[in-house]
Amino acid sequence: MVQFSEEVQSAIHEGKALVALESTIIAHGMPYPANVETALLVEKTVRDAGAVPATCAILDGKLCAGLSTDQIELLGKEGARIAKASRRDLPYLVSKKLHGATTVASTMIIAQMAGIRVFATGGIGGVHRGATETMDISADLQELARTPVAVVSAGAKSILDLKLTLEYLETYGVPVLGFQTDEFPAFFTRRSGLNVDFRMNTPQEIAELLHAKWSMGLTGGVLIANPIPEENQIDPDTIERTIIAATREAAQAGISGKQLTPFLLARIEQLSGGNSLKANIQLVLNNARLAGRVAGSLALITA
């Protein structure tokens, strides 16, 4: 069902550590050419950490794990013209033989099909601000509850209601691990004032917990919260004011659903003078580095 690149196919055959990567960040998360440059740099970072990257997407209706440079370039250039694909969109895109850029949810699905247990992203989706009225809750959270893949992220996107997002994950039994932190990071900043479930200080500790969870037959994934490097974070008060302004503009324009997050991220980049994009790139690289190390440790445990 999944189409592998030659590099990923060889890695699976040889039992090497693999890290899944999403493609929504390429098509919808950053402008061209920064999106393509970042995607290739993220893949290099995974390799440097000792694992093999498997960027996921839907191309001509095929679920892909591992993309060529040309395929990444296609996603980057086409940008928002590529469908943003979550779980509900996969059957349509496959049946119609269309392209799709994978979200956290759909990347987890492809990773599971491919036998990949570790996935690096920027930040997960979650419960949106005002969700008590709009019921706008990302499918990423349900995917974490049902699909056995560990997701390394800089917490959840700070445009969200982080407290409700953590409450949702607790309800569905998703462990939230803090890598060398007791506090849940807030994407652009290291601090949110909210606690993680468990602090883990090494990739080996994380890998041992993953192995224990899945060996017991417990379903679902694990969220590994990896704070943005201190030198790259944005002042919390500054980014909060920017988020509030962008959220107000989205409400006035009637933007919601799957268009909301790309709009907010793009508007925040504009309002921050490009600082949010720089921070986004650095946190993604930081997550890719940790994911590669966790995947390597897990591969040794399960060999």
Local confidence pLDDT in tens for the 303 residues of the chain: 899 999 999 999 999 999 999 999 999 988 899 999 999 999 999 999 999 999 999 999 999 999 999 999 999 999 999 999 999 999 999 999 999 999 999 999 999 999 999 999 999 999 988 877 778 899 999 999 999 999 999 998 777 899 999 999 999 999 999 999 999 999 999 999 999 999 999 999 999 999 999 999 999 999 999 999 999 998 888 888 888 888 888 888 988 776 777 787 778 878 888 888 899 999 999 999 999 999 999 999 998
Residues serving a catalytic function are 22, 157
Q: Which helix (H) or strand (E) holds 65?
A: strand 62-65
In order, the DSSP letters of 167-227 are: HHHHHTT--EEEET-SB--BTTBS--S-B-SEEE-SHHHHHHHHHHHHHTT--S-EEEE-P
Q: Which helix (H) or strand (E) holds 262?
A: helix 260-271
According to CATH, the superfamily of the domain at 2-302 is: Indigoidine synthase domain (3.40.1790.10)
> What is the reported pTM?
0.92
